Structure 1
Amino acid sequence: MKIVRTTYLSLGTNLGNKIENLQFAIDEINRSLGHVRKISSVYRTKSWGFEGEDFYNICLEVSTSLSPEKMIKAVLEIEGQLGRLRNSQQGYNNRIIDIDILLFDDDIMFYNDLKVPHPEMLNRRFVLEPLSEIAPNVIHPIARKTILACLQNCKDLGVVEKTDAKLIRPISLVEKFNYIAIEGNIGSGKTSLARKIGDDYNAKLVLERFADNPFLPKFYADEDRYAFPLEMSFLADRYHQLTDDIAQFDLFKNFVVSDYYIFKSLIFAQITLPKEEYRLYRKMFDIMYKEIAKPDVYVFLYQNTERLIDNIKKRGRDYEQNIQADYLEKIHKGYLSFIKSKEELNTLIIDVSELDFVNNENDYQIILKQILEFKPG
């Protein structure tokens, strides 16, 4: 599990469309650094230390799992996207964007050019004004005073004017969802995606315990004989796990993400069981289903069959190596039939056939963006 820390950033701009510059930077910070929890008002100040256009300045509170070293790299990339290239030029000048790391929890650090707390923040009213708005009681780790007290003691006489300009704070998965269920065919990457989301957003992770099922290897060796005990054991285990793990509130987790949903049992049972056994199975399922919490969003990962087989071979589970393409296609059709029949389920289908969200951060962000922008109902 990644450790989530709180950092405070200062942003300033005096070129081009200043509000657009700040909003773009906020959105990118939320995407690549961490969850933007607070945004100060926008403050206008005269250019400081040189003749130029007025600056717009803000401060942000961000929850991040990045190290300070990775944070500064991400900050430089965001500045670069807006067209700023830092150089060795001394003094102050016009800037399309300037992003400074002010505080990182209560740490004191010196790393190459990064110094935290920012060595000049206590001398800059245009920093302390917006920072005191969102973090008045935070203690400066060197001055050992609150930010509000630091502002009151600041000797900078520059005029800092609060404006009426509005910025939009990006909504995070943490705020939008309580329960995300991720589904897909065998080898679609649902567990990998659930793990990444759980790790990045401090979510309670509910993973299917297929490895503990003694009937699974036997089923792949003799489907007719072991189909019913396999499906019944899976149903019982999924029911107990979902009712226990999802129902129990965890103060230390932001939301729940699972790599399956209870309807998976019905889909596989339809494929593997003869009609008589399926009817019995369905009666048991319907009783249990009434007790299961429904996800805020049901994410279905679509992978083409060729890539599913390739993924299955790569992960190397012995009992899966003889899975045939026609079996995977039956599962896929079962999922599609289920999705069409359950309009009340908030279903989001994402085609990941051309995405490598495990190794490619941009692909992972594409998926997160689709989940975040999904509108239930």
Structure 2
Amino acid sequence: MAEVPFIAIEGPIGIGKTSLAKKLSVHFDFHLLKEIVEENPFLGKFYDDIDEWSFQTEMFFLCNRFKQLEDIETKYLNENKAVIADYHISKNMIFAKRTLQADKFEKYEQIYHILTKDMPVPNMMIYLHAGLDTILERIRNRGRDIEQNIKPSYLAQLAQDYKAYMNEFELLHPNIPVIRINGDEKDFVRHQDDLEDIIEHVNKHLKNATVLK
């Protein structure tokens, strides 16, 4: 039986994950899973004072993403319905390692592993990355008030953390294709050719995995 497509898009804040997920979900007619961001009541306080509000922020994201993926597995993947998501729950560890103090990270990590041990792993990953200038420009362009106080140094470090995370992901999951897209070179929102190039890459991997009917 063919494996039902479950594609996750990852990358730093503001890189365009949701925009790309929406476009690919329309093209392939896959269910779109969007992460909860602005609904997090701690996020604005977090960007103002990371040390004070990191644990509350990360726990909110973890619990909500767990519930979302649980529902997706039951209602879609188990019913052989393809899904494309603008995140995967494993990203939580990127942020937690960077923002939580050692004692709270230890508690958080224990909860994370309990919740995610049976969660579905995507069978394709799209990794969006770009330089700091591009990331800052895209954050300004989308104009979310809660993101305007993010420190550039935090974004730069986060981009490095994502790079290390994706390299580790490829080592741990050698059979899961990772499509790397340089946001400094491609703008799939403004340029249709860039979007079509990404679609072509995704389609090739879907066919190679014999997941298309």
Rg larger for: 1
Task: Find the partner of 2:182 among 343, 348, 351.
Answer: 351
Aligned to 1:5: none
Instruction: Give me the TM-score of the superposition, normalised by structure 1.
Output: 0.51
Aligned to 1:322: 149
Partner-residue secondary structure (3-state), 2:119: coil
Aligned to 1:156: none
Partner-residue secondary structure (3-state), 2:172: coil
Aligned to 2:14: 187
Listed as ranges, the gaps of 5+ residues in structure 2 are none
Give me the whole-angstrom Cα distance separating, in 1, the residues matched to 2:165 and 2:192. 31
Aligned to 1:167: none
Give me the whole-angstrom Cα distance separating, in 1, the residues matched to 2:198 and 2:90. 23
Deviation at 1:202, TM superposition (A): 1.7
Task: Find the partner of 1:273 among 80, 91, 100.
Answer: 100
What's the C-alpha RMSD, in Å, of the aligned pairs?
Answer: 2.1
Q: Is the 8 A contact 1:202 1:254 kept in 2?
A: no
Partner-residue secondary structure (3-state), 1:214: coil
The superposition leaves residues 65-123 of structure 1 with CA deviations (integer Å, 9 ceiling, x where unpaired) of xxxxxxxxxxxxxxxxxxxxxxxxxxxxxxxxxxxxxxxxxxxxxxxxxxxxxxxxxxx
- Identify the structure with the greater strand proportion: 1
Listed as ranges, the gaps of 5+ residues in structure 1 are 1-174
Alignment identity in percent? Answer: 34
Q: Is the 8 A contact 1:204 1:253 kept in 2?
A: no
Q: Is the 8 A contact 1:203 1:253 kept in 2?
A: no
Q: Is the 8 A contact 2:4 2:81 kept in 1?
A: no
Instruction: Give me the TM-score of the superposition, normalised by structure 2.
Output: 0.87
The superposition leaves residues 126-153 of structure 1 with CA deviations (integer Å, 9 ceiling, x where unpaired) of xxxxxxxxxxxxxxxxxxxxxxxxxxxx
Deviation at 1:177, TM superposition (A): 5.5
Verify: 1:313 aligned to 2:144, yes or no. no
Q: Is the 8 A contact 2:76 2:82 kept in 1?
A: no
Q: Following superposition of structure 1 onto structure 2, how do residues 258-297 of structure 1 map, counting pairs within 5 Å?
A: 258-297=85-124
Verify: 1:369 aligned to 2:200, yes or no. yes
Aligned to 1:244: 71
Aligned to 2:164: 337
Deviation at 1:341, TM superposition (A): 2.4
Give me the whole-angstrom Cα distance separating, in 2, the residues matched to 1:242 and 1:370. 25
